[in-house]
A and B are shown apart, each in its own frame.
Chain A
Amino acid sequence: MSHLHSRPSLADRGQSLGMRLITRAGGLEAMKNPALRARVEKVLYRGARQGFRAQVAAGRMFSAKPGSGAPTRSKPATPRHEFDLTPTDDQQMIRDAARELAEEVLRPAAARADAERHLPDEVRRQAAQMGMALLGVPAELGGVAEESSAVTSVLVLEELARGDMGLAVAVMSSAAVANCLVDYGDSGQQATYLGAFTDEHDPARGALALLEPQPLFDPARPQTRARRDGEQLILDGTKSLVPGAAAADLFIVSALVDGEARLVMVPPATDGLTVSDDPAMGLRAAHTGAVHLQGVRVPAANLLGTAADHADAVARARLAWAAAAVGTSQAVLDQVTSYTKERKAFGEPIAHRQAVAFTIADIAIELDGLRLVVWRAAALLDRGLDATPQIAHARSLVERHCAQIGSDGVQLLGGHGFVKEFDNERWYRDLRGAGLMEGVLLV
């Protein structure tokens, strides 16, 4: 499909986005027509689902499957060599769908999910139904992507985290595993694991676990080690703040292998792997746990990608966190903009005071600056170009400015910001995390 130059048919659209997304986005009322719907459904299934039938196994055992030839990867986007800040029609549709999910499902569930440290089944079901976890997976592999989708991913993460960062992480962390398989897996690994993650009804859960507990952690030098023993790897180490660790079907951990940081797939049921609870200041809806590896043996074939792929995953994860920070910062801006116009002190709205108004202006300025850096980095990635500097810049802006935005978001409400009457104290906790997390999310 070439949506730039020709008007795509309905079937094209259906295939590129996933019909669930389209109907949910409300972009096409016509999809409510059963005849039309059936036709698109047929196109979807014929084109996208062949070869990767969903497998639903009790306890989710992955049986090794042979792949055929070269792995399937996302295709790079074709640039137009123009400065442009307008998303494509497809991106806008997916973004609208994500916004709707964020506003109608995530935000209302956020406070309770944070308190209970639990992703409600209903939220998980709705997100899965909209195909949010499939955005980076090419149609040939059972997903909905036509080409590399870092821009789409940052737009979606931004919207979801505007709803709630903790729930966004809970919902999207399994997508990171799927994306790793798409981007770095060989055809056998894709055949063995990906089907479970693209299953429509009960997609597998997983986590990309890079972070470790020690201060000054550098993902390029993990303390987790993997020794080779014949055709096996023996892993030792600890991974921190792993979302949904207790219920995961698959971990992708980083470990030092032959002196290089690499990605290794580790099924949770492997001997020597234990999970303990690891609650943190924020991101509580993601129910973070620690993964302990003691003499854990996996086949050497569980190595995923190369050392360069590991570095790529680190960078893409940082960009994803920056996108999430943009969304939550936007939530802060939205809230303080209306609150300070309503809240009165000394006989007039506090927004009428420069000390308050300028703080809000600064939030907007730093937020927009970060958003543009995130978009630039994502667009570079989609073209297959190096985005290392931009991702480093985005992370630096998140570390400093988004923590400040979280703080200002509480400060502007005074005591009301400190109590759980409003969402602001949760945003304060979540925004502090976005600049220090590694792994977990992936664009």
Chain B
Amino acid sequence: MIDLEVPRKFVPLVRQAAGLADQVFRPISRKYDLAEHEYPRELDLMSAVIDGLSDSGASQGAGARTTSGGSAEPAGVGAGSRAAKSKGGNVNGSNLSSVLSIMQTCRGDVGLTLSLPRQGLGNAAIAAIASDEQKARYGNKWAAMAITEPDTGSDSGAIRTTAVQDGDHYVLNGEKIFVTSGERAELVVVWATLDRSLGKRAIKSFVVRRDNPGLKLQRLEHKLGIRASDTAAFTLVDCRVPAEDLLGDPEIRIEGGFGGAMQTFDNTRPLVAAMAVGLARASLDLATELLGRAGVTAEPSAPAHTQPYAAARLLQLEADYEAAYLLTLRAAWMADNGRPNSMQASMAKAKAGRTCVEIALTCVHLCGATGYAETELLEKWARDAKILDIFEGTQQIQLLVVARRLLELSSAELK
């Protein structure tokens, strides 16, 4: 039965996440925007609440948790198919609850959401492809994700970091940049290739302990936005990793070898889309309030072209917001129900990414000096927004994924 409202069973969890956003994140939002690289200690104080939220299954933070509801149930694609089926065979599971709670925490602050301990994108990768034994071993640790290299961004199949087997260890060498929470996390999931001549299928994920002496922190980036979140650059110099810390299948398969690593994106793209939706909501709420005080209120039932420009624009932005919001819920719902969702995840990410940038920038513009000045958070959200149309696959990469699926074209045909 078609119904696109927040499921009743998730309402308390969404409310809790909203409380976190309003009571914890918002008051310190500007502080850590200005104090880049400073660790937000308030989050430690709130860790009990956050863990409570996570263990209830409501929040997957920035990544899918390796456990939900206290059981060792991965929150990955297909997790929902193992969840208890409701009467009609419809599942509302951890993917949906994750995007719903992230929308709330990111309405509070995206950078702080990314800084929530033990909620890293690396955790999502572990959830997606680790063996049960590995999941048990890493379950409670905070894991960052290291894919990008100085010369390799969107073409993650072309990474140069190498992994060479040496007895019961692999030896990793290379350079990784743009590692979110790289300084603070306990584990870093590193993508490296077993054999560069074999292309994508030789790429494997390795779990590297942050205190591994071969993993050297080079610097933290200074950024346009999400400054509360640390973004690290590492070098890996003869970094020895135990063989059991290779995630998933150690063999190089002709078919589907890269799929395991890429499958992570089916999980994480709806999460990033949810971040964008949350940020867009924050911008729209504040701009609506400020414009209301200035005497302009949008009237949804009246034709847009009979209303003041600012009101008409708000209506348009709300419309695109809602499309992004629902595309995101759909992608998560499909994952919960064990349906392949690569295309829908990319649709959600593409729409939410570009929409949140447009909304945040327009809200700054509509509010004039107040929007642009640091007295309000609108300008900060406009800076934070841009990364959401970039990381976990740029707008252009999402369009490629969507187009290839729609047109049934290979990456050789549609480059």
Contact = CB atoms under 8 A, between A and B. Distances in A.
A358 B399 contact: yes
Contacts of A81: 3, 5, 7-9
A354 B7 CA distance: 39
Size range of the interface on A? 35 or more
A352 B306 contact: no
A375 interface: yes
A360 B2 contact: no
Range, interface on chain B: 35 or more
Interface string B1-34: 1111111110000000000000000000000000
B365 interface: no
Contacts of B301: 220, 311, 314-315, 388, 392
B251 interface: no
Nearest to A380: B5
Contacts of B165: none
B403 interface: yes
> Which interface residue of A4, A361, A389, A399 has the most chain B CB atoms within 10 A?
A361
A396 B323 CA distance: 11
Q: Is the interface of B mostly helix, strand, loop or mixed?
A: helix
Interface string A65-88: 000000000000101111111111
Contact of A84 (B2, B303, B402): B2
A80 B96 CA distance: 16
Given A357-B403, A357-B409, A368-B347, A393 B322 contact: yes
A361 B409 CA distance: 13
A58 interface: no
Interface string B92-127: 100010000000000000000000000000000000
B323 A352 contact: no
B326 interface: yes
A337 B403 CA distance: 9
Contact of A4 (B88, B92, B304, B415): B88
Contacts, number: 177
A55 interface: no
A365 B8 contact: no
Of B87, B301, B319, B409, most buried by chain A (CB within 10 Å of CB) is B319
A82 to B, nearest CB: 5
Interface string B312-335: 000110111011101101100100
Contact of A366 (B90, B323, B403): B323
B2 A86 contact: yes
Contacts of B403: 354, 357-358, 360-361
Given A4-B88, A372-B327, A365 B1 contact: no
17 contacts: A4-B87, A82-B90, A83-B7, A84-B2, A340-B407, A354-B414, A358-B396, A361-B406, A366-B323, A368-B347, A369-B323, A375-B4, A378-B2, A390-B322, A391-B300, A393-B318, A397-B319
Given A87-B2, A314-B301, A337-B407, 8 more contacts: A83-B6, A84-B90, A220-B302, A358-B400, A365-B351, A368-B344, A388-B300, A388-B301
